[in-house]
Amino acid sequence: MDRLPDDGSRPSHTQVLVVGGGPVGMLVAAELGHHGIDTVVLEAAPHTVDQPKAGTLHARTVQGLARRGHLQARPATPERLRRSSADAFHFAGMPGLVITAPGTEPGPIVGRSQADLERDFERLARARGVTVLRGHRVTAVTQGPERVEVTAQGPDGTRHFTAEYAVGADGARSTVRELLGFAEDTHPATVSALLGLVRLTDPDSVPHGWHRTPRGWTVAGVNPYGHSRFITIDFRGPHPDRHAEPTVGELSREGERILGHAVPMTDPVFFSRFSDFARLVSDYRKGRVFLAGDAAHVHFPVGGQGLNLGLQDALNLSWKLAHVLAGTAGKDLLDTYDTERRPAGRRVIDNTRAQLALMRPDPGLDPLRDLVTELLGLEEVNTRLGHMISAQETAYPARTGPGSTWEGRFLPNLPLTTRDGPTDLTRLLLPGRPLLLLLGEEASGNGAGAGHRADAAGWAHVLHTVTAASATPLPWEAVLVRPDGYVAWDSDGGPLADALRQWFGEAR
């Protein structure tokens, strides 16, 4: 193994080192802290910065965060289970998409700024014993068969760290990804986009929302009393200098070119330049190092999917790392992170590229846009695309063999009744342990449920086993739910003991 420079200092050791303290890294840290895992976060920024970045949490992210107690969940009832909630959205900038979610969930779309999420997760991580070191920029990462070694420059100079595992959640320009040479698939940039938080001096002249002209697109959240979020999308090609600092004059001129009239603005607060460059690493894991969020995948930010994809990475990876470090993981559990999350990343990259193709201001595409608008009027198509954008279509490959029809699917929040009274699936998952749910009165007697309880006895140190009744008919008599809300096994599959061994190691 390559060694870190020997300057006489003693490296600090931790179980997991998280590089990057944005919302994805802080969520990983908060979840590991919940499980009592010794965790250190290294973040270059001295404090959280409020910027007009992502602010949309889609349904699957909302559902996952609710099951871990990060969002308020409303109690599930049979009446709510029979209903659904819906929010209007867009597809490729075109109106007509409606995103739905079960009525027992918090809602299809929740507005939360990226900065607020980062603060909330950091506060929780610190409360759970996580060490957060801000102002620390990673300069070296090496690894061997038993540990990862990291060097960082901090306010007090060079510091060295060792860890059993490391998570690179350090964004699109990930130092961890570059230093370890993760292989990647990329798509070059074809468009240039600008985002500014500015004061529009003639706000009535700027169209609200998504607006296409023959020369490009503008996207505006117009605030006539303060600063407005204004975006321009130029389809003539990528900017010759991707990292050139935007100016208020450039954004104003580009808005004028696209809209065909002057777009006066002043008092800039924030600028960003972006493109449709896309990247997906070939494997989310390299030895003892994992990538999550933008470090693993970047794409054109249409549909508000990037932050959601990263938060779902965090929810998937954290419980698996916790079980491995606790010695309660099945064989190759950590390998499932890539096999489950990389296809989800590919799906988002593909759908954002498809949406951008529809957005190109070519009149020859008008018939295609008209056709897509017509198809959005069909309930089946609308639901399919809505579930794609909100990641509610995401299902993971089965691990425990054929026969289990629900394995890998996300279990909706079910209203249930236990001996302690009414409850629901979300509340039962809040402890963060895998849940073995035994349904029906026979579960506590001599029927099949009692057999499942006996089979699970050797995993009592891992499982939260609950007997409950459901007012709604369910397709199985028992189900094993992972801490992230996905089904690990149901009673239509093979023996429960085999599934438990596969996921959580040998019985005790």
Chain segment 94-152, per-residue pLDDT in tens? 999 999 999 999 989 999 999 999 999 999 999 999 999 999 999 999 999 999 999 99
Chain segment 384-407, per-residue pLDDT in tens? 999 999 999 999 999 877 767 899
- The residue written with tokens 């698996």 in the block is 320
CA distance 246 to 243: 9
Give the per-residue pLDDT at 449.
Answer: 74
Give the per-residue pLDDT at 443.
Answer: 43
DSSP output for 301-365: --SS-HHHHHHHHHHHHHHHHHHHHHT---TTTTHHHHHHHHHHHHHHHHHHHHHHHHHS--GGG
CA distance 346 to 453: 39
Strand positions, DSSP E, 136-291? 137-143, 148-154, 157-168, 184-187, 192-200, 209-213, 216-221, 228-234, 265-275, 278-281, 285-286, 289-291
pLDDT category of residue 450 using cuts at 50, 70 and 90: confident
Give the per-residue pLDDT at 447.
Answer: 53
pTM, to two decimals: 0.95
**CB distance 492 to 476 below 8 Å:** yes
Q: What is the mean pLDDT of residues 467-490?
A: 94
CA distance 221 to 206: 9
**CB distance 190 to 238 below 8 Å:** yes
Chain segment 233-259, per-residue pLDDT in tens? 999 999 988 889 999 999 999 999 999
Quick one: which of 293, 288, 323 has its CA closest to 483? 323
Check pLDDT > 60 for residue 5: no
pLDDT category of residue 441 using cuts at 50, 70 and 90: low
Q: What is the mean pLDDT of residues 459-472?
A: 94
Hey, what domains does the chain have and what are their CATH numbers? 12-51+112-185+279-359 (3.50.50.60), 192-275 (3.30.70.2450), 415-504 (3.40.30.120)
**CB distance 400 to 493 below 8 Å:** yes
C-alpha angle with apex 320: 319 to 321, nearest 5 degrees?
Answer: 95
CA distance 361 to 278: 21
pLDDT category of residue 1 using cuts at 50, 70 and 90: very low
Among 81-85, 362-366, 402-406, top mean pLDDT goes to 362-366
List Cβ neighbours of 413 (8 Å cut-off, separation of 6 or more): 63, 66, 73, 76, 102, 104, 105, 424, 425, 426
Give the per-residue pLDDT at 49.
Answer: 86
Check pLDDT > 50 for residue 346: yes
The least confident of 4-8, 207-211, 447-451, 495-499 is 4-8
